[in-house]
Amino acid sequence: MIDLKLDITGVKKFIAIESLNTFQSEIDSHYKTLLMHTGRGNDFLGWLNTPSKMPEALMRKIKIDAEAIREMAEILVVIGIGGSYLGARAVIEALGPNFPDLSRGIENKYPRVIFAGNNISEDYLAELLGILDKKEYALAVISKSGTTTEPAIAFRILRKHIEQKYGKETARKRIFAITDKSRGALKKLATDEGYTTYDIPDDVGGRYSVLTPVGLLPIAAAGFDIIKLVKGALQMEESFAATSSLDKNPAALYAVTRNALYRAGKPVEIMVNYLPTLNYFTEWWKQLYGESDGKQNRGIFPAGVTYTSDLHSMGQYIQEGLRVIFETVLMIDESKHELRIPMDNDDLDGLNFIAGKRLGDVNYIASQGTTLAHIDGGVPNIRITLPVLNENTLGQLIYFYEAACALSGYLLEVNPFDQPGVEAYKKNMFALLGKPGFEAESTILKGRLGLE
């Protein structure tokens, strides 16, 4: 039994709901292709059964190492980029407090998880080193190859720092490497230095890796229940595997609905949330769908907003701008806390009409009013609802989006598991930095930039 609910009544003004049934045969074909591993990118389908095939021994090892990290470190620095950090950060921030640096309290027994290697900002890394000078810390470096530029630079710098701070022998015990099981620069270094290691499955791409050690070790170290997270994903896996019927498979229905809107002239999808702690879940979703869909000059462009704050910035464009967008609203029924609006004798702000109401109820009503306004303004709305936000429901949501993404990519007739376009900027950067073997490209690019 899954808790996630999908409501597509907000699109019926723009496409006939009955017309979605015409996609059933198409989705049946792609669903079969996906489950039988016969479609494009079939060598990267390990995520499909990650929850059901999760080894108990691996979960025990992660929990033991997470406890060791808690005992030795105030800070865990997770080094990675893209899927190597976004999934973990999405879960940690979704489940954690809004003010993690200020509301430590009993959470002091868990390390603060900080992320590095996802940018090349000199100031960011220099300031992080200044913090680590004064704190006990450990490193989790995540990379299949060990040569991806951003995390490789960060690890080179942080490895030097941790070795200087603790000495090489002690530093080894504070470094955890999540990498390829048999090859690559990071694997070799980890073996030579004796780091604790975890394997990234060969058949799981980075943006689908949150339910592997890539995401599970940082999430466990931060104090969250990875068993419940995986169990939630397993519930969605079993539900997804049971049928391809659009009436009973919400992931298939979501994939079909977004593609029907795309074919109807809506190529931009805006993920909407109403909780600031979901900002990085939106970032994870953006990477998942952006890298999976955006190929061959086609695909739905993923964007994200947090309401109601962004109603006072992006709201104007969404209401009255170019009519090429649709929204997918992620709602959580029950808040973690209860806070009511007080009565004020003067009522200068005119808000006594909502005095006594829970703030969460006002937030929900704001979502309903916004949805109606945007539909009236020409913006279709899909709504996804969870009863509460916890490890179990978040596990369901993660698997739901992964499965829907795969089907959506097949509906777009692209390979949803590769990312060939990501290499273009790297080649230019290497050439401009003077990497050996890129001399000819360097001359051409510098000429284009007016540097020679």
Architecture of domain 5-39+229-411: 3-Layer(aba) Sandwich (3.40)
The span from the CA of 239 to the CA of 442, in Å, is 52
pLDDT value of residue 382: 98
**Alpha carbon distances (Å) from 231 to 54, 56, 134, 227, 387:** 10, 12, 38, 6, 17
Q: Which residues contact 86 (CB under 8 A, 6 or more apart)?
A: 207, 210, 280, 283, 284, 287
Cα distances from 86 to residues 60, 129, 192, 325, in angstroms, run 23, 22, 28, 25
At residue 255, what are phi and psi to the nearest 5 degrees?
-60, -45
- Within 8 A by CB and 6+ apart from 264, the residues are 14, 15
Nearest to 47 by CA among 299, 302, 369, 417: 417
- What pLDDT is recorded for position 106? 46
SS3 47: helix
pLDDT at residue number 102 = 80
Q: Select 47-224's CATH number: 3.90.1170.50, 3.60.130.10, 3.40.50.10490, 3.10.450.50.
A: 3.40.50.10490
Separation of alpha carbons 210 and 409, rounded Å? 19
Helix (H) or strand (E) holding 138: strand 137-142
For residue 444, the model assigns a pLDDT of 81
Q: What is residue 405's predicted lDDT score, i.e. its pLDDT?
A: 98
As a whole number of angstroms, the distance between CA 210 and CA 418 comes to 17
* Of 269, 283, 291, 391, catalytic: 291
**CB contact set of 450 (below 8 Å; sequence gap of 6+):** none
- What tokens appear for 313 in the block? 């910035």
Distance CA 441, CA 379 (A): 45
Q: Give residue limits of the domains in the chain.
A: 5-39+229-411, 47-224
Of 320, 310, 303, nearest to 268 by C-alpha is 303
Spans of the chain, pLDDT less than 70 = 103-108, 452
The pLDDT score that the predictor gives to residue 423 is: 75
The H or E element spanning position 6 is: strand 5-7
Instruction: Report the chain's terminal Cα–Cα distance, integer Å.
Output: 64
Q: 179: cis peptide before it, omega within 30°?
A: no
Secondary structure of residue 232 in the 3-state scheme: helix
Selecting among 56, 122, 169, 312, the annotated active-site residue is 312
Query: Are the folds of 5-39+229-411 and 47-224 the same?
Result: yes
Rounded distance, CA 54 to CA 216, Å? 11
Whether 13 sits among the annotated catalytic residues: the reply is no
337: annotated active-site residue = no
204 dihedral zone (left: phi>0; alpha: psi -120 to 50; beta): beta
- The model's pTM is 0.95
Question: What is each CA distance from 333 to 29, 64, 249, 365, in whole angstroms?
Answer: 35, 34, 21, 11
Check residue 434 and give its pLDDT. Answer: 81
Beta bridge partners of residue 177, listed in sequence order: 141, 197
Structure tokens at 67: 């406890």
Q: What pLDDT, on the 0 to 100 scale, is given for residue 433?
A: 78
Could you say which of 13, 135, 181, 426 is catalytic?
426
- 291 catalytic residue (yes or no): yes
